[in-house]
Amino acid sequence: MEPKTPPYESRSQSQKSTPPPSSAAARLWRPAAQRNLRNQWSNLNSLRQDWRSAASAGRSHATAIVNSYLSQNTTLGARRTLVCWCFGMEVRYMDGMEFGVLSDMPNIRKKACSKLFKQQELYRGKLLSSYRDMVAIVTRMVNTCKSMRCYLRGTSNSPLAQFSFSLEDDSDSGDCGGIPVFAFYSVASFEELAWEMVRMFVSELNLKRLLVMELLYIYDEKVAKVIGICWSDEFYDGEFDELSLLNLYSEETREPVLPCLRGCKSSTSAVQSKQQQDSNVLQVYLTTWLVEVNIDRCRVDEIFAIVGGEMHVDFS
């Protein structure tokens, strides 16, 4: 199921523009609108950098979880060769790892596995923290998209014009009749570009939630047992409230919307996790996290180039 168009997005885009303003009103409105748009797009640029940092940290934690899990299997004498390619670095585990002179030490395998499990638990918490950071980042992106209009505060008869970024008068669309803010683009055009980009991050966040669920659940029952989480579970306190703001939580089913690739509909009706995964599957999970299939980086860069050219701002 693909995330629906957020209700807060449709309001600003469907809102009718106010009648063309007088030249005096436009002269007063335009500088305030320009400052606001520069600030909001600078915020979006900073947030996409924050996303990269949080996603990179999450990828590192996910890789550590996978390596710890595979090492536990090997230390216990797995009867197959496990190979995991982690972003260019090969980690190879052979059948029944030999401990050499350490084999005579009491419970050496058990203690080694216990150590690896504790390491896995540590990185589970860090992965969940990175996911929470990404939810917060995308939420701020959405709020930024909602703050691009510039409204007149008070009455138009006031000798000192003041402007606000929150709606106070339903008759004011906040776009000064749809006139260009800088050279060519109206406020609605800037909003359209912003929503196009943010929808990519919303879709990618939903896919990463699925990967987080899978990676938090894998464990070797010979070492210890962890409490698994389901798709319908709240991963942390307040998560569902934040997902609702992103339209990623269904009030009908009372659970998060199932992920899908951008522009496609999901044919999955349920998600079932497995506590033990093959190394090839885990490799796919890590690769999927890395490539971010829902985010078209070229298009994102193009959007910032278009906006930067219009504003004469360098977002690189």
Asked if residue 273 has pLDDT above 60, the reply is no
At 135 the pLDDT is 98
pTM of the full structure: 0.79
The residue with greater pLDDT, 71 or 13, is 71
pLDDT in tens, 97-153: 555 655 665 565 566 656 656 776 788 899 999 999 999 999 999 999 999 998 876
With cut-offs at 50, 70 and 90, classify the pLDDT of residue 169.
low
At 29 the pLDDT is 87
Q: Two tokens at 312?
A: 């004469």
Asked if residue 83 has pLDDT above 90, the reply is no
As a whole number of angstroms, the distance between CA 230 and CA 233 comes to: 5
Across 178-192, average pLDDT = 94
Do the beta carbons of residue 68 and residue 123 sit within 8 Å?
Answer: yes
Q: Two tokens at 262?
A: 């951008």
The residue with greater pLDDT, 254 or 82, is 254
Give the E-state strand segments of the chain in sequence order: 82-86, 89-93, 151-153, 162-164, 249-250, 255-256
As a whole number of angstroms, the distance between CA 132 and CA 243 comes to: 11
With cut-offs at 50, 70 and 90, classify the pLDDT of residue 243.
very high
At 192 the pLDDT is 97
With cut-offs at 50, 70 and 90, classify the pLDDT of residue 28.
confident
Q: What is the CA radius of gyration of the chain?
A: 25
Do the beta carbons of residue 266 and residue 209 sit within 8 Å?
Answer: no
As a whole number of angstroms, the distance between CA 44 and CA 196 comes to: 12
CA torsion, points 244, 251, 234, 143, in degrees to nearest 10? 0
**Residue 315 DSSP label:** -
Q: Picking from 34-43, 48-57, 251-260, which range would have the lowest pLDDT averaged per residue?
A: 251-260
Q: Picking from 51-55, 64-68, 162-166, which range would have the lowest pLDDT averaged per residue?
A: 162-166
What residue segments make up the domains of the chain, in order of their start? 7-311
pLDDT in tens, 194-234: 999 999 999 999 999 999 999 987 765 544 455 567 899 99
The residue with greater pLDDT, 115 or 58, is 58
At 174 the pLDDT is 81
Query: What does each C-alpha distance from 178 to 18, 72, 188 come to in angstroms?
Result: 8, 62, 7
